[in-house]
Amino acid sequence: MLPDLTDLNTFRDALTNARGPDELAVQGATERNGQLTKPPGALGRLEDLAIWYAGWRGDARPQITAPQVIVFAGNHGVTAQGVSAFPPEVTVQMVMNFEHGGAAINQLAKSAGAKMNVHALDLDRPTSDFTQGPAMSEDELLIALRAGWQAVDPQSDLLVVGEMGIGNTTPAAAIACALFGGEAADWTGRGTGVDDAGLANKTRVVAEGVALHTSDDGLEILRCLGGREIAAMAGAIAAARVLRIPVILDGFICSAAAACLARMSPGALDHAVAGHQSAEGAHGAVLTKLGKEPLLNLGLRLGEGSGGALAINILKSAVACHSGMATFAEAGVSDS
């Protein structure tokens, strides 16, 4: 059961004290995997995924029947610096598209049999420009974290979170730079397609933001450099950790949100796998820092949770093989 998020310390404590996987379920799933009608290791990474999933669900022979996709939307004051090829008004327009079922994520969620929810977070009130001060106050951060925390259905058995927010590759790049070090250029990409001059400007903005906001605390980095939708994704991923709901991470922006949690608590992302590696240049580097090997690499750079949703069927297939296949004894097949 999720505690009420009354303050940021409650969030920190809930994440730090969250339970790990059920070791008995892991043991049972591992034993079952060794008895299935296939050569050892023949299903490759699918076997590891199924055992990992079984541990988090506390069931040695689990099923995936209730996946949830949540898309959070927010606007960013830093777009006033000219960091995006599109205006902030597009965020509102895309939220309407999500709500009417017309976006790619709607189709991918439907194909995966997932329930989809959309949460728009104060779109008429962008976060502050982080080159001038913190993007959010502590109260604003808490409200955004709580939006993600409360959006997770406790009855779901798999979670994907996505985002929509014009300009949000800029705060994601700033978060990655602040967390992992290096130069701003190492983490800054073209996002929605800025030209060379736009990329240089975007890199400058990231560098200025990181120079202004230095911290070793993932939550403080999220507050100063992030956005409401990024914080909401972090809140949802953390809630799933407390509820022991496995998570499939989406692209660069989702991974930046998750990285803030990993800085707060070393095991914060043990319940998460990377759905894909996006075409945004620094995403692969973030995944390497997080120790997450992507399930897919298809050149996607859409956001919305699209890569994570696409990977739902990979995990479903892994679990279906694990739980649905017969053992050698059940099939009457010799295992020697």
- pLDDT, tens digit, 9 for 90 and up, residues 265-278: 999 999 999 999 99
Residue 60 near residue 54, CB atoms below 8 Å: yes
Per-residue pLDDT, 184: 98
> Is the predicted pLDDT of residue 181 greater than 80, yes or no?
yes
Choose the catalytic residue: 163, 220, 229, 304: 304
Closest CA to 155 of 67, 59, 61: 67
Can you tell me the distance from the alpha carbon of 79 to that of 2, in angstroms, rounded to the nearest whole number?
A: 35
Amino acid at 115: K
Residue 95 near residue 120, CB atoms below 8 Å: yes
Can you tell me the distance from the alpha carbon of 81 to that of 240, in angstroms, rounded to the nearest whole number?
A: 35
Per-residue pLDDT, 333: 87
Per-residue pLDDT, 108: 98
Structure tokens at 112: 């995966």
Can you tell me the distance from the alpha carbon of 56 to that of 7, in angstroms, rounded to the nearest whole number?
A: 27
Maximum CA pair distance of the chain?
Answer: 70
Per-residue pLDDT, 336: 66
Can you tell me the distance from the alpha carbon of 80 to that of 92, in angstroms, rounded to the nearest whole number?
A: 17
Residue 140 falls in the annotated catalytic set: no
> Is the predicted pLDDT of residue 1 greater than 90, yes or no?
no
- pLDDT above 90 coverage of the chain, percent: 97
Closest CA to 97 of 79, 67, 120, 129: 120
- pLDDT above 70 coverage of the chain, percent: 100
Pick from 26-35, 190-199, 235-244: least confident:
190-199
Closest CA to 314 of 93, 83, 21, 108: 108
Work out whether the CA dihedral 35, 36, 40, 43 comes out positive or negative. negative
- Residue 99 burial (C-beta neighbours within 10 Å; 0-12, 13-18, 19+): middle
> Is the predicted pLDDT of residue 213 greater than 80, yes or no?
yes
DSSP, collapsed to helix, strand or coil, labels residue 159 as strand
